């Protein structure tokens, strides 16, 4: 009888929660979706749950930070468009959250941090971010925001200082650093390299600043090129004719990225070699495939046809660090992102594999096949595994 009553009470609790729109799930600590990617619906739900926590205690910095991070993750997993606001009354844009924070938790670390970081690459709230960094430089996630500020304002010394401290914390993905090292090995001396995301840019900057690896390479994350001041200076240094973007609305980010990349590829005349990281969205360069040639984990821009089979073979056999593909010795929270980026090795591996077979170097070809199969197996996608393995017959 006792257990029957307990079961009935549990059922009533669940039924009550459903009837009155209350979730039985609990709010969870929020981590940037760039580091630990989960579904868009998960972030929306977490935003709702943390909003409920704020109704109980609107003076909690922890509640506000996790609520802000959930909303930002929801927007980020919606391609940064603002129509995610329609999915729940709890969803808000960063600027609107800052207004509420200034009302409920003014002059706090969290208020300064969110105020300074919510604009992404826009440097206008830099003073608030630096004040937050001064208050708590060890707060999880703040390093990348300060690096962003440093990059957008061309403050090389600040970027170096923060990256060295960030590296010393030993909390950065080893897989992403290995991949970033191999990207840097993929390009020529004094190259210009276009990147697009957090996971293909910040690890490279960290290696350059903390380990002084390939500091000759200039890395340009195309997110920053949407800033007029940043784009004008970069284009001026590279002798690229100016371009005016029609709209800076967040819903047009995709169109603006495409416009900027197309403009660069059409008008690049600088003697420094230009490379595109393979992590760029293929739609951004789809009209220039006849001018882009596989160089390791990048594409090299060339007006003339190029045969880079020997170059790719040299990278794979002599320059790349590839042991991490065989075995990882850390519990990497970013492993899914690492696995996804590792797919970009397939193009170079395939190119060299075919060249080795053509020259009857079958033992070396088999070695490359093993790397391709390792990468495929880590995708946990049966269709993709079959597709990749069919490429290496």
List the chain pLDDT tens, one digit each, 393 residues: 444 444 444 443 444 344 434 455 899 999 999 888 899 999 999 999 999 999 999 999 999 999 999 999 999 999 889 999 999 999 999 999 999 999 999 999 999 999 999 987 788 889 999 999 999 999 989 999 999 999 999 999 999 999 999 999 999 999 999 999 999 999 999 999 999 989 999 999 999 999 999 999 999 999 999 999 999 999 999 999 999 887 777 778 888 999 999 999 999 999 999 999 999 999 999 999 999 999 999 999 999 999 999 999 999 999 999 999 998 888 898 999 999 999 999 999 999 999 999 999 999 999 999 999 999 999 888 998 899 989 998
- Residue-level pLDDT at 125: 82
Q: Write out the residue range of the structural domain in which residue 54 sits.
A: 23-106
- 45 domain-assigned: yes
Of the residues 87, 106, 125, the one at which a domain ends = 106
- 14 domain-assigned: no
Of the residues 84, 106, 128, the one at which a domain ends = 106
In sequence order, the 6+-apart residues with CB closer than 8 A to the CB of 273 are: 187, 188, 190, 191, 192, 300, 301
The number of distinct structural domains making up the chain is 2
- 118 domain-assigned: no
Count other Cβ atoms within 10 Å, centred on residue 157: 9
- Residue-level pLDDT at 301: 98
* Residue 285, both tokens: 């360069």
* Residue 391, both tokens: 């490429």
Stated pTM of the model? 0.89
- Residue-level pLDDT at 24: 59
- 60 domain-assigned: yes
Are 224 and 321 contained in the same domain? yes
CB-neighbour burial class of residue 21 (10 A; exposed 0-12, middle 13-18, buried 19+): exposed
- Residue-level pLDDT at 292: 98
Are 179 and 267 contained in the same domain? yes
Are 31 and 178 contained in the same domain? no
- Residue-level pLDDT at 18: 43
Which of the 8 DSSP states describes residue 197?
A: S
Are 187 and 102 contained in the same domain? no
Are 209 and 69 contained in the same domain? no
- 70 domain-assigned: yes
330-333 own/partner pairs: CB under 8 Å, 24+ apart: 330/174, 332/173, 332/174, 332/175, 333/31, 333/35, 333/36, 333/173
**What string of DSSP letters covers 137-189?**
TTSTTHHHHHHHHHHHTT-HHHHHHHHHHHHHTT-S-HHHHHHHHHHHHTS-T
Largest Cα–Cα separation, the chain: 84
Are 183 and 100 contained in the same domain? no
Residue 304 phi, psi dihedral angles, 5° rounding: -110, 145
Residue 192 phi, psi dihedral angles, 5° rounding: -105, 125
Are 260 and 357 contained in the same domain? yes
Are 198 and 311 contained in the same domain? yes
- Residue-level pLDDT at 17: 43
Count other Cβ atoms within 10 Å, centred on residue 163: 24
- Residue-level pLDDT at 19: 40
Question: Side by side, which strands form the sheet with 298-301?
Answer: 218-221, 192-195, 274-277, 298-301, 292-295
- 205 domain-assigned: yes
- The DSSP bridge pattern shows strands 192-195 and 218-221 to be parallel
Of the residues 88, 106, 124, the one at which a domain ends = 106
Are 373 and 251 contained in the same domain? yes
Distance between CA 280 and CA 197 in Å, rounded? 8
- Residue-level pLDDT at 328: 86
- 232 domain-assigned: yes
Are 255 and 341 contained in the same domain? yes
Are 183 and 284 contained in the same domain? yes
Token look-up 């709890």 returns: 90
- 86 domain-assigned: yes
Q: What is the dihedral of CA 360, 365, 367, 372, to 10 degrees?
A: -170
Are 100 and 182 contained in the same domain? no
Count other Cβ atoms within 10 Å, centred on residue 297: 26
């Amino acid at each position: 009888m006792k257990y029957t009553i307990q079961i009935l009470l549990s059922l009533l609790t669940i039924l009550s929660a459903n009837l009155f729109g209350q979730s039985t799930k609990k709010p969870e600590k929020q981590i940037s979706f760039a580091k630990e990617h989960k579904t868009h619906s998960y972030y929306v739900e977490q935003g709702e749950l943390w909003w409920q926590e704020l109704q109980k205690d609107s003076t909690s910095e922890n509640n506000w930070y996790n609520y802000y991070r959930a909303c930002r993750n929801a927007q980020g997993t919606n391609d940064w468009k603002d129509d995610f606001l329609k999915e729940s009354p709890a969803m808000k844009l960063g600027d609107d959250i800052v207004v509420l924070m200034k009302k409920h938790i003014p002059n706090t670390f969290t208020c300064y941090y969110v105020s300074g970081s919510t604009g992404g690459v826009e440097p206008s709230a830099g003073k608030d971010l630096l004040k937050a960094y001064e208050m708590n430089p060890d707060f999880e996630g703040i390093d990348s925001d300060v690096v962003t500020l440093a990059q957008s304002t061309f403050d090389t010394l600040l970027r170096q200082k923060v990256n060295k401290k960030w590296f010393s914390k030993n909390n950065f993905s080893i897989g992403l650093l290995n991949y970033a090292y191999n990207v840097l090995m993929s390009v020529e001396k004094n190259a210009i390299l276009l990147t697009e995301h957090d996971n293909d840019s910040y690890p490279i900057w960290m290696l350059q600043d903390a380990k002084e690896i390939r500091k000759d390479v200039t890395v340009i994350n195309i997110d920053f090129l949407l800033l007029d001041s940043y784009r004008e200076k970069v284009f001026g240094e590279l002798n690229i004719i100016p371009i005016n973007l029609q709209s800076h609305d967040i819903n047009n980010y995709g169109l603006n990225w495409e416009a900027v990349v197309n403009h660069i590829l059409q008008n690049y005349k600088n003697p420094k070699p230009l490379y595109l990281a393979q992590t760029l969205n293929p739609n951004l360069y789809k009209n220039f495939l006849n001018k882009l040639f596989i160089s390791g984990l990048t594409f090299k821009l060339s007006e003339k046809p190029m045969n880079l089979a020997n170059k790719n073979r040299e990278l794979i056999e002599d320059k790349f660090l590839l042991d991490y593909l065989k075995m990882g010795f850390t519990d990497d929270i970013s492993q899914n992102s690492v696995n996804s980026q590792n797919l970009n090795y397939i193009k170079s591996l395939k190119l060299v594999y075919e060249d080795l077979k053509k020259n009857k170097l079958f033992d070396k070809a088999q070695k490359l096949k093993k790397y391709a199969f390792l990468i495929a197996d880590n995708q946990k996608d049966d269709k993709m595994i079959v597709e990749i393995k069919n490429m290496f017959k």
